[in-house]
Structure 1
Amino acid sequence: MTTRVRTLAIGGLAVGAALIALLGVLPSADNVSVLRQTISQYGITDNSWIFNLAVLLVAAGSAAIIASLRAERRLPTAATVLGSLWTVGLLVIVAFPKTNWAVQSAGSFGGTLHRIASVVAFVALPLAVLSAAGAAFPDAPGRRLLTRALAWASLGWFVAILAAVPVGAVVGGDWWDLIPLGLMERGLAFTEVLALVALAAPVVQANAVTVRT
């Protein structure tokens, strides 16, 4: 049963990720730059319902994966807590859209919550995957390595984005203009979804072959 739940959950993650990718090419009255603007920008456009649906699908799929792995005793407590922070962070992102700087000159309470939830979610998931990989794949070193590599790659994206902040302070100007923020955040988000899929996908065991003489 838990394997079936995880399969459905992975499907939800895939559909959610596909919808986010689709938003990059769908016509909209509000143009969003895939290169420069974050994914959350879709949440304040006329396609916001697609963005919200996509994030909710990822949140639901994530929650199902966490619950099923925990039920199989393949998810340590620390990973469960971190994975839950990822899921709750996604829900907060939907509930509180980012600040629309085109119509607001100052940040809002909801926009601040959105920003904090985004950071918490993006950090919590790869840490959850890293802490769970050993328990999830004790007899599958290849899968364990792949899962950890994707988690480290996710953290790498985040560190690369974060590194632009002090650089901006040194060279002057807005740090988000120094990097292709939108593209990098999309790389971060999709890598994190891949890391979660790698953690959740069942391990295929090779069947033993008996040779008769």
Structure 2
Amino acid sequence: MYVGEMGIDRPRELPWQELVLGGTAVAVLLGLHLLPDSGGVDPVYELLSEYPLRSVVVGVPYTLALLSANTAVVLLGVAMVRQGLLRGWLTTTLLAVWCLSLLGLTVFLKDPVGSAGTWYGTAHKLCTVANFVSLPALCALLWRRFRTVSGWRGNARRVGVLAALSMVCAVPFAAAFLRYGGQLRATGTVLGLIERCIVVLDIATIVTLAAWSRAMAAARDKRRFDHEVI
């Protein structure tokens, strides 16, 4: 709820544009996994970034899904800054790094299995590490900043838990990814499944941050209205 003209409470408009962009991205990624043989990519052992290397049929939808998701998060990030959740350069920078690294993962393809390393494959690896680290770091910073603030302790606790879960998955994944590169199946670990768990956690984190930001804006509007009434 927010206070409109004449002091009447009205529901704050939902971010329909972000919902459509983000929802479309999630639906496309789920759809790729529902294709026969998961679109030619083993969801347990192989990474999502294998899709562009398989065929245009699955590569183009995958790429568009990442671009759609990135656009949604950029728009939500702008709202988070305006609504006061992201304060200061560090929190804004961390979210910007996450968005830029996701864009890098879209632009720079991973090296095919068995191929010699390339500069764009190295760029893909670096973007992977930056993407896995930046969002949990942002959540950890917000947890530290708001963990003792009345009214926001629950939100801080939720993002703190999500950050911890993400790092539990991301640290071993990043270590194996940097060491083995495209030969991930040779590690004998289910890194494809771990990566998909990280993606789910990222989605949950973005949704949680967006909801927190909207709640913070609503609380600010209510305080402003109460002050004007007094």
- TM-score interval (norm. to shorter): 0.7 to 0.9
Contact 2:32 2:39 in 1 (8 A): no
Instruction: For 1:22, give the aligned amino acid.
Output: G
**2:124 matched to which residue of 1?**
114
| Mapped pair 1:66 → 2:66 | no
Instruction: For 1:194, give the aligned amino acid.
Output: A
RMSD value, Cα:
3.2
**1:195 matched to which residue of 2?**
205
CA shift in 2, pair 1:25/1:131, >3 Å:
same
Contact 1:38 1:182 in 2 (8 A): yes
Task: Give the distance between the partners of 1:153 and 1:29, measured in 2 at CA.
Answer: 26
- Is the helix fraction higher in 1 or 2? 2
Using the TM superposition, give the Cα deviation of residue 191 of structure 1 relative to its aligned residue in structure 2, in angstroms: 0.4
Instruction: For 1:52, give the aligned amino acid.
Output: T
Contact 1:164 1:179 in 2 (8 A): no
Q: Which consecutive residues of structure 2, in runs of 5 or more, have no partner in the other structure?
A: 3-11, 219-230
**2:9 matched to which residue of 1?**
none
Using the TM superposition, give the Cα deviation of residue 165 of structure 1 relative to its aligned residue in structure 2, in angstroms: 7.6
Using the TM superposition, give the Cα deviation of residue 5 of structure 1 relative to its aligned residue in structure 2, in angstroms: 6.9
SS at match of 2:40: coil
TM-score (norm 2): 0.74
| Mapped pair 1:143 → 2:152 | no
| Mapped pair 1:35 → 2:44 | yes
Instruction: For 1:37, give the aligned amino acid.
Output: E
Instruction: For 1:17, give the aligned amino acid.
Output: V
SS at match of 2:112: coil
Contact 1:65 1:200 in 2 (8 A): yes
Task: Give the distance between the partners of 2:73 and 2:186, measured in 1 at CA.
Answer: 29
CA shift in 2, pair 1:160/1:7, >3 Å:
farther
Alignment of 1:1-213 (within 5 A): 4=13, 6=15, 8-27=17-36, 31-46=40-55, 47-76=58-87, 77-101=89-113, 105-133=115-143, 134=145, 139-162=151-174, 177-201=187-211, 202-203=214-215
Contact 2:146 2:153 in 1 (8 A): no
Residue deviations 1:50-69, cap 9 Å, x none? 11111111111111111111
SS at match of 1:117: helix
Instruction: For 1:23, give the aligned amino acid.
Output: L
Instruction: For 1:161, give the aligned amino acid.
Output: F
Task: Give the distance between the partners of 1:112 and 1:181, measured in 2 at CA.
Answer: 18
Contact 2:184 2:191 in 1 (8 A): no
**1:208 matched to which residue of 2?**
none
Instruction: For 1:75, give the aligned amino acid.
Output: L
Contact 1:6 1:68 in 2 (8 A): no
Task: Give the distance between the partners of 2:118 and 2:165, measured in 1 at CA.
Answer: 32
SS at match of 2:85: coil
